[in-house]
Every structure is written in C-alpha cells, then in structure tokens.
A and B are shown apart, each in its own frame.
Chain A
Amino acid sequence: MINVLIVEDSKISRENVQSRLALSQDYLVIASIENAANAEIACMKGKIDLILMDVCTADDESGLKAAARIKKHYPRIKILIMTSMPEHSFLGKARESGCDGFWYKEYGSIDLLTACDCIMRGEPVWPERTPVIRVGNADSGELTDRELEVVRELAQGCRYEEIAENLGITVNTVKYHVKNLMQKTGYRSTLQLVADVVEKRLILPKY
C-alpha cells in the first residue's frame, strides 16, 4: 500500500484528487492538508510514500518551496507537483527541487492515477513544456525567459532601475526587453501586459 499525502487548498480539488485515488487499491490517503508549510512535518515519521503537492496553497505558502525542503531531508518520498497554473517558471523550479513529476490539472494529457503509478515505478512524469497561452498578439512560447523575468519584476511593481539591479543587467537592456515585449504582444502599456499575464496565470510572483 502506498501512503499518500495530499497538499491542496481547494476543498473541491482535494475531494476530486481523493476520489481519483480511491479508484485504485494501491493508494491510501493518510492525510489531506491545505498548507504546504505543514507538509514537511507530516513527513517526519516516515509514514508518507507519495505527496501530491499543489503549488499555490493556503496562506500563500509555496508547494515548490516545501517540496524542495522535503526532498532535501527525505529524498525517498516521491513528489508529484500538480497545478492548474500555466506559470512559466513552475516546471523548472519543480525539476530544480528534485520533484519526481509534474501534472497539469487542466491541461494534462495524462490521468492523475497514471501519473502516480509512473512515479511510484520510478518513471518521472514531466510535461514537455508549459501550456501555451495567448498574451496579446503573441503566444507565450514566443516570449523569451529573460522577457518573462522582466515581466515578473514588473508585476511586483519594480521600476526599471530596480529590475536592472535585480536581474544584473543595465537599465537600457531592461528597456530593450520591455520594447520587445510591447512589439510582440501589441500592448501599449506595461500595465496592460502585466494585467494580462497575471490574469492568465503565466506569472505568479508570490510563488
């Protein structure tokens, strides 16, 4: 029997995950919690084999950060990150944290139970890329990583000078990226751009 911990702040999604796992005799949900910061504690006595971890959890706690801490102390525990957010950095962060898989709730082509089975067999589950969404006139895939980093900084209310300092580039380079972003998306102001990427959850600065 595989002991599962579900970390998910939406009650309806949690119930949904539980009902999917209940279809298999192999999994036993031993706890469902809402706050990722509590997950590490739940793992301490070695009862957990698999964690299904949401990224944006209660009280703005990041599931990715919690996963990184858990993997550091308990590398044996398998972690499947699940999210409905097409945030461009989540996939990379999950890999860096040492997670075993990543599952998009809304965009995934693979069933949750199948993903869990793969992970428990030692087969990593990774989507090829972040789901492509439309940002103004452009597809999110057309925006470079650097451009998305600049948008992330803008979304946090940083000024050009602050962005330059945070990213270790010059103010002129920041302006160059912003200009390219405007050209690609067709937006006339950074406010429009930021509103769109955050609304479409391509950027979630808190996580």
Chain B
Amino acid sequence: MHLRFRERQHAVSAVREAIDSYPGGLVFSTMDGRPILVNKMMNDLAFVMTGRTVLDANDLWYKLLRSDHITGAVRLCKPWFSENTDDAISEDRVVYEMTDGTVWRFERHVMDEEVPSTVQIEAADFTELYSLSEKLYENNERLSMLHERQKNLLANIMQINHDKELLATKMRIHDEFGRCLVATKKSLSSHTLDEDITSLARGWEDAIRDLTNIPLAASQTENSPEAELLSVADMIGCHIEFLGEQPVGRKALLMLYAAVREALTNAVRHAGADCLIVSLTKTERGCHAEISGNGSKNVYSVREGDGLRNLRRRLEQEGGSLSIRCDGGVVLIVDIPDEEKRNERE
C-alpha cells in the first residue's frame, strides 16, 4: 500500500516536473475553471499579468479576453494578425506584450469536444514570430507603396518620352539650321557661292520648311479621333453618320470609335456598304449604340472573328457589352459605360 502510494507520488512528481520544464505556459482545468494542472510558467505569467497565480482558469481567460484587469502586460491587436489566418485574433486566441518586452500568445482549447470536460489554456513565447510578422507587414506595406509609385511613374514617363521625342526633332532641325549656316559661311569665305548656290538653297529651303513646323507642333490641338475616322471612311467611299449625342468621356468615345471601326470594316468588306449609320441613345450608365450599314441584306449569321472578339473583350473589360443582330442586315449593338457621365452625376 505504502509502495503504491510512493509510486503514485513519484508519477505525479514526474508529470509536474515534465510540465514545468515545458517552455510555454500550460493550464488544464475543468469546464467551470477549477485548475487540474498548472505549470510554473503559466503561474508566473498569470502573476505578472493579474497579480495572482492561476486559481480559476475561466476567470484568467475572461480577464485575458477583456484585458481590463490586466496590469502587467499590454494586449496587441495589430492589423497583420487579421490578414494571416494562422495568427488571426479570435475568441480563442489573444496576444500580450509583457513589460520585459516579450510577446506571448494565449490560446484556449476545449478538449474532448464530443463530451467537453477539460479546457486547456496554452501560452507560447511569440516574441520572435511577432517581430518577424511586424517586419513582414511593414515590408508588404512598403512594397504596395512602391508598386503604386511604379505604376504612377510609368504613366508619367510615357508623357515625358513623348515630349522628349518632340524635343529631339526640334534639336535635329536646329542642327540642320546650323549646318546650313556653316555651309553658307564656308561658301562665302571660299568664294564658291555660285557653284554651291543650288545645294545651299535646297538645304535652306528644307531647314526653313522644318522650322516652320515647330510652331505648328507647339500649338497642336488635341487630335480629333472622329475627324480622322470620318476621313479614312471617306477614303474608301463610305460615309459615316452619327445620330444622337456621343459619349462625353474620352475613354467611352474611343470605345465607340473602335466599335464603329469594326462595323465599318465588316460592312464594307463583306456587304459592300457605302453608308454606315450610328444611332446613339443615352442610358443610365453611358451610351447605347446601334451600328448598321446599307450593304447587302442577305446576312443571317455572323462568325465572330479576331476583330469582333477583341472588341468584345475590350468592351467587357470596361464594363460594356457587345451583341450582334442579324435579320438580313447586320446590326452591331454596343453598350458603353461613360465614366465622365457618372462623375458628372456624382
């Protein structure tokens, strides 16, 4: 009897020793909070945070959740926890920073879920992981910012490049002008003006013609996509007529002209049209267009080629749509969202 008692005492001591040597805090309790087994680390943590060791595991957990009776530590609720599912803050997980700078994660598990009888609260040293998570979050934030800057920079650089190209042309004209001056001076000083006069005159004419283009380029107004489209349509003997009001925003306009271009190509190529009617009506979101030609009326089906497919993709990417009606003639029906119109309304 004495031997069995000693053996049991020995086993209890072994369990306690093992659980005390566990690097984290650990407490097992009944469902109503009575501690069954608490290790030294958990008692130390509870003492630092609440001023007492673990007497009631439920009471400790509610204090950890509410954090209003915790004096020796600060609860951490940083944004990156919610982004990472493994570290997400929940009703069963809280994170505290102690006064010594260490960070601890407390987790509560109900054991034997079928017949709940025991609750485990575990505290794990989270200091290194917390610090790495913080750095990762900061780096990701920085990376997002850099991506945004990169995109903005790209948009600006395209314009800068265009300006640089214009400047390069101006410089080339400047060089031509300089060459003419040098050549003329040389002819004058070597008294060969009579012989060189033809080539010099041609050089000067070219330079002056190019020079007169500079003010034109500088005062160049915004291109009119409509004028150019009408002009190329005229070139192939097809007249385009717009009925109704065109969209306000440039993006919507360009999508409309892309659709007209596609309809024009098909109407002339496949139906021999020489007139294209674009009927436009305003809608809640932007513009509804029906585009039809006056060509052959014997078309009852249309096979969607690359052109129509690309147009459909482009429209759908911007929230628009494309459909085709074949009732003898072909009508291209497009709905185009107009950002500008929406902005005006807002």
User: Closest Cβ of chain A: how far from B236's Cβ, in Å?
Assistant: 5
A16 and B213 alpha carbons, distance in the complex (Å):
9
Q: Is B21 located at the chain interface by the 8 A CB criterion? A: no
Chain B: residues with Cβ within 8 Å of the partner, total of 44
Q: Is B248 located at the chain interface by the 8 A CB criterion? A: no
Q: By the criterion CB–CB under 8 Å, are B213 and A37 in contact?
A: no
Given contacts A44-B268, A44-B269, contact A38 B229 (CB under 8 A): yes
Of the stretches B59-67, B154-162, B182-190, B326-334, the one at the interface is B154-162
Q: By the criterion CB–CB under 8 Å, are B225 and A191 in contact?
A: no
User: Closest Cβ of chain A: how far from B255's Cβ, in Å?
Assistant: 11
Partner of A31, one of B214, B235, B237, B268: B235
Chain B residues, Cβ within 8 Å of A199:
157, 160-161
Chain B residues, Cβ within 8 Å of A190:
146, 150
Chain A residues, Cβ within 8 Å of B232:
31, 33, 38, 41-42
A190 and B264 alpha carbons, distance in the complex (Å):
44
User: Closest Cβ of chain B: how far from A93's Cβ, in Å?
Assistant: 17
User: Closest Cβ of chain B: how far from A48's Cβ, in Å?
Assistant: 9
Q: Is B170 located at the chain interface by the 8 A CB criterion? A: yes
Given contacts A38-B232, A47-B235, contact A15 B216 (CB under 8 A): yes
Interface centre among A35, A159, A189 (most CB of B within 10 A): A35
Q: By the criterion CB–CB under 8 Å, are B160 and A16 in contact?
A: no
Measured CB to CB, the residues of B under 8 A from A are 146-147, 149-151, 153-154, 157-158, 160-162, 165-166, 168-170, 206, 209-210, 213-214, 216-217, 220, 223, 225, 228-229, 231-233, 235-237, 254, 258, 261, 264-265, 268-269, 306-307
- The 7 A-B pairs at the shortest CB distance, nearest first, are namely A12-B217, A15-B213, A38-B232, A44-B236, A41-B232, A45-B236, A157-B151
Measured CB to CB, the residues of A under 8 A from B are 9-13, 15-16, 19, 31, 33-35, 37-38, 40-42, 44-45, 47, 58-59, 69, 84-85, 106, 154-157, 159, 189-191, 194-195, 198-199, 201, 204-206
